Amino acid sequence: MNTLVIGSGGREHAIVRALNRSDRVNEVFALPGNDGMTEATLVEGIPVSEFDQIGEFCKENNVEWVVVGPEDPLSEGIVDRLEDKFNLKVFGPRKNEAQMESSKSFTKHLMKKYSVPTASYEVFTDKAKATTYLENGDFPIVIKKDGLAAGKGVIIAQDLSEAKKALDELMETDGEVVIEEFLDGDEFSLMVLVNGDTFTPFNIIAQDHKRAFDNDEGPNTGGMGAYAPVDYISQSTIDEAVEKIVRPTVNAMVNEGLNYFGILYLGAIITKDGVKTIEYNARFGDPEAQILLDLLETDFVELLESMYNKQPLQLSFRDEYAVGVILASEGYPGDYEKAKEIIIEKDTMADIYVSALKHLDGDTYESNGGRVLLAIGRGGTINEAKENAYDTLSKVKYESSDFFYRKDIAYKA
């Protein structure tokens, strides 16, 4: 069969490689993809926002499965259009269901209604009322912009001054913010395959590193690295997350008339009061997807078909560790410059997931985004995998003033 991956980042590169490993796949298309996705045929000239053009392309090229990577087209209804008008099989939730990520207030209200453990919160559209609430609040406190923010619309304010500055930033124009209590503890990510009332959690978990700099300092980012499995988080903790968070959430969606199909990404935290929800995303996390799909042994098409048909599914992963380190443009997640030169030899590319590179000539590329690539390492121990990840990154040549990376990925392991 032929397949199409929507998106252009490292997460989509991981999906492309997973599909490419399947014996059932003839050709993998990526729209728009990036120049590092050598395993895919890049689709040029069709914007991701042109759903009808995408549907026509799928029909003309005998595409049987479409996998949507990023959150924006999901929230804009790409699945609705491709399913309803073109009768395609699409892995990803429809627009209404994608609110689980696209509207933080929607998800918080759902969790509150069905008693799913999460931080206490209030929602504001009036900046003055939000300021008054903060003036009477406890710190640190978390302020989130409602809607999609590419993983960067969350600010943890340590005091009132920082909180007011955060409001200025997140409510610069009309909008809605969620202000919630700060939860302290170890965070982890759990990917869950969902189809209506049926769900299958991944049986390994990953841990992301959101802050830009070492020691979890600096602003929140889309993710600066990840590793899996996370041994120090016990199976009983994962079971608690499934039974107290995932299962009630799936049941709540069904009760509310939602028919969710795709990945439901749980961002969870272990608190003194048990496991609680930080957030839900409606797609694979990035960079967690690169780590987990790299370890995945289950045929990705079999995974899609089993979930589509609500058949029992046993996921299989390689019995080893994987660590991924993000190389980012200097200035990210704030302002940064593109078109900075990077040299990656062909042999090294097998251990690279490309997020934003343009190919110039031979082994020479230039940067085309904030997070540029992820260097992955694998090994029988977490330390071996970590060493291999940084060894891979050391083979990438660039001006040190143009890029940066965290040197402590997987330190909690």
Nearest-angstrom CA–CA distance, 330 and 367:
11
pLDDT of residue 257: 97
The answer, yes or no, to whether residue 345 has pLDDT greater than 80, is: yes
| Strand segments (E) across 8-103 | 27-32, 41-42, 63-68, 89-91
Q: Which residues pair with 353 in a beta bridge?
A: 374
Helices (H) and strands (E) in the chain, counts: 13, 25
Mean local confidence (pLDDT), 118-145: 90
Q: Is there a cis peptide before residue 333, judged by omega within 30 degrees of 0?
A: yes
Mean pLDDT across the chain: 95
Mean pLDDT of 393-405: 98
pLDDT digit string, tens, across residues 193-208: 999 999 999 999 999 9
Judged by average pLDDT, the poorest of 15-24, 183-192, 318-327, 358-367 is 183-192
Cα 235 from chain centre: 23
Tokens of 409: 């990925």
Mean pLDDT throughout 63-67? 98
d(CA 157, CA 160): 7
> The tokens of 389 are what?
């990840």
CA distance 171 to 168: 5
Task: Measure CA of the first residue to CA of the last residue in the chain; give whole Å.
Answer: 40
- What dihedral angle (degrees, nearest 10) is formed by the CA atoms of 371, 372, 377, 378? 80
Residue 294, pLDDT above cutoff 70: yes
- Nearby residues of 397 by Cβ (< 8 Å), 6 or more positions away: 342, 343, 344
- Tens digit of pLDDT for each residue in 209-266? 999 999 999 988 999 999 999 999 999 999 999 999 999 999 999 999 999 999 999 9
Q: Is residue 382's pLDDT more than 60?
A: yes
399 by Cβ neighbours in 10 Å (0-12 / 13-18 / 19+) ranks as: exposed
Region 328-344 average pLDDT: 97
Among candidate residues 27, 38, 22, 100, the one with its CA nearest the CA of residue 63: 27
Of 133-147, 261-275, 338-352, 374-388, where does mean pLDDT reach its minimum?
A: 133-147
- In the structure encoding, which two tokens stand for residue 178, read together? 């969620």
Q: Is the pLDDT of residue 153 over 90?
A: no
Amino acid at 325: V
Question: What is the longest distance spanned by two Cα atoms in the chain?
Answer: 60
Share of the chain above pLDDT 90, in %: 87
Torsion-angle region of 412 (φ positive above 0: left; ψ -120 to 50: alpha; else: beta): alpha
Q: How far is CA 310 from the centre of its chain?
A: 24
- HSE of 72 in the Cβ direction (CA atoms, 13 Å)? 12
Location of structure tokens 């999460």: 118
pLDDT confidence of 176, banded at 50, 70, 90?
A: confident
- The average pLDDT across 384-410 equals 98
Evaluate if residue 405 carries a pLDDT over 80.
yes
pLDDT at 46 exceeding the cut of 60: yes
Using left for φ > 0, alpha for ψ between -120 and 50, and beta otherwise, residue 119 falls in beta
Q: What is the mean pLDDT of residues 275-297?
A: 96
Nearest to 375 by CA among 358, 354, 404: 354
pLDDT higher than 80, residue 148 = no
pLDDT band at 174 (very low <50, low <70, confident <90, very high): low
CB 44 within 8 A of CB 53: no
Residue 305 one-letter amino acid: E
Ranking 73-77, 187-191, 390-394 by mean pLDDT, the lowest is 187-191
Please report the sign of the dihedral spanned by the C-alpha atoms of residue 60, residue 62, residue 67, residue 69: negative
Residue 173 banded pLDDT, cuts 50, 70, 90: low
Question: Residue 53 pLDDT more than 90?
Answer: yes
Instruction: Determine the Cα–Cα distance for residues 184 and 209; give it in Å rounded to an integer.
Output: 15
Please report, for residues 46, 86, 215, the alpha-carbon distance to residue 60 in angstroms, rounded to integers and kept in the order given: 14, 11, 50
CA–CA gap between residue 207 and residue 266 (Å, rounded)? 11
Res 171: pLDDT: 84
Tokens for 318, please give them: 């390689």
Do 49 and 324 contact (CB within 8 A), yes or no?
Answer: no
